[in-house]
Amino acid sequence: MPQPTIIAVGELLVEFVSHREGCELRELSEYSGPYPSGAPAICIDQAARVGAATQIFGAVGDDNFGNALIERLQTNRVDVSGISKVSDKSTGVAFVSYYADGSRTFIFHLNNTAADAIATDEINLPDGPLIMHVSGSSLGNPKLRTAIECTATVVIERGGQISCDPNARPELMSDPAVSAALQKLIKKSTYLFPSDNDLEFLYPNQSSQTAIKELLSGGVKTIALTRGEHGSTIYTDNNAPLQLPGHTVVELDPTGAGDCFCGTFLAMAALGHSTEQCGRYANAAGAMAVTKRGPMEGNSNLDAIEQFIKSNPAKAEA
């Protein structure tokens, strides 16, 4: 059986990170950027670095932000032939600023930029088995949502698998069409990467444990609950949950750690590793990701992840 290609359809953005805590993107601050970003791009970049075959479908403007994105992904061996350049729109941009408690505020320039200029009929999926990764962050945009839903239907018809990181931010989910699309994709997923907050938001009347049990009995095969500095817990339908404690690192910029976790987990799965290996490597890669400023600057290849696990073992099992 050939290895599956990991694909994503969604927003390609560059991100600027404020150096001043609490500036709220309102007061003057210095910024770093343009950092290549967009949740699907971060995940796919990481999966490629780990060694999986990958392809991303999206659009950028005919400008240097777009060039920076394409060059980064290409350097890391992502197939970028599904990225179109739109001449009359600018590349999407995100700005982020942190507060002292680690929470953050974003401004996205996504709607009506090149980031949502995706034509569903131009998505030519590669031959062979597929794993399609979806980030809930893409579903708030109607054009991206349509492209993702149509592509997911084709992937499933072809016998491929769906992976979903809900990223269920309440401000995004106030539109019932968004939460309906997310719930539908979750039910069709083989891999699910929720945080505790995602589960609380998606299943407010249930405990996380009950929600996980129901998702597994409904057909989801693997649920990796991401828990920030505490690591992750992996649930599969027939085994006891696997607690994977976090690695101790100095957190500089946590944005993108979840996407990096997903990219690592999926790439390891595509390369044929056990669920436990997938989780351990994803945990390490997520920890590495938060140590660098910029959403995909902390992405890493397999050698670096192995080196990190040796030199910085996970905390003792809880």
Beta carbon of residue 278, minimum distance to Mg ion (angstroms, whole number):
17
Q: Which listed option, Mg ion, ligand ATP, none, makes contact with residue 264 (CB within 5 to 8 Å by class)?
A: none
HSE at residue 89, side-chain half, CA atoms within 13 A, is 20
* 257 binding ligand ATP? (CB under 6 A): yes
84/241 Cα distance (integer angstroms)? 42
Stretch of residues binding ligand ATP (CB under 6 A), selected from 25-33, 63-71, 213-221, 283-291: 283-291
Residues near Mg ion (CB under 5 A) are 167, 258
Q: Helix 275-289 and helix 39-50: axis angle, to 10°?
A: 120
Is 117 in a helix, a strand, or coil?
coil
160 binds ligand ATP, rule: CB under 6 A:
no
The smaller minimum CB distance to ligand ATP, of residues 157 and 317, is found at: 317
80 binds, among Mg ion, ligand ATP, none (CB under 5 to 8 A by kind): none
CB 95 within 8 A of CB 31: yes
Q: What phi and psi, each to the nearest 5 degrees, are found at residue 289?
A: -60, -35
Q: Which residue has the tokens 């994105």?
A: 69
Q: Segment near ligand ATP (CB under 6 A), from 22-30, 80-88, 184-192, 245-253?
A: 245-253
Quick one: 284 or 289, whose CB is closer to Mg ion? Answer: 289
Nearest Cα neighbor of 147 from 290, 310, 12, 283 is 12
How does DSSP classify residue 125? P
Distances (CA, A) of 86 to 59, 60, 83, 307, 311: 7, 6, 10, 41, 45
Nearer Cβ to Mg ion (86/144): 144
CA distances from residue 108 to 42, 94, 103, 116, 216 in whole angstroms, order as listed: 16, 4, 16, 12, 34
Residue type for 46, please? Q
Q: Which stretch binds ligand ATP (CB under 6 A): 13-21, 76-84, 235-243, 248-256?
A: 248-256
Shortest reach from residue 2's CB to ligand ATP, in Å = 29
For residue 3, the 8-state DSSP code is: P
With CB under 6 A as the contact rule, the residue among 18, 46, 151, 195 that binds ligand ATP is 195
Nearer to ligand ATP, 69 or 287 (CB): 287
Is there binding between residue 279 and ligand ATP (CB under 6 A)?
no
User: Which string of x and - marks every residue 218-237 that binds ligand ATP (by CB under 6 A)?
Assistant: --------xxxx-xx-----
Contact flag: residue 43 with ligand ATP (CB under 6 A): no
Determine the Cα angle at 237 with ends 232 and 239, to 5°: 70
Binding positions for ligand ATP, rule: CB under 6 A: 167, 195, 226-229, 231-232, 246-247, 249, 251, 254-259, 261, 283, 286-287, 290
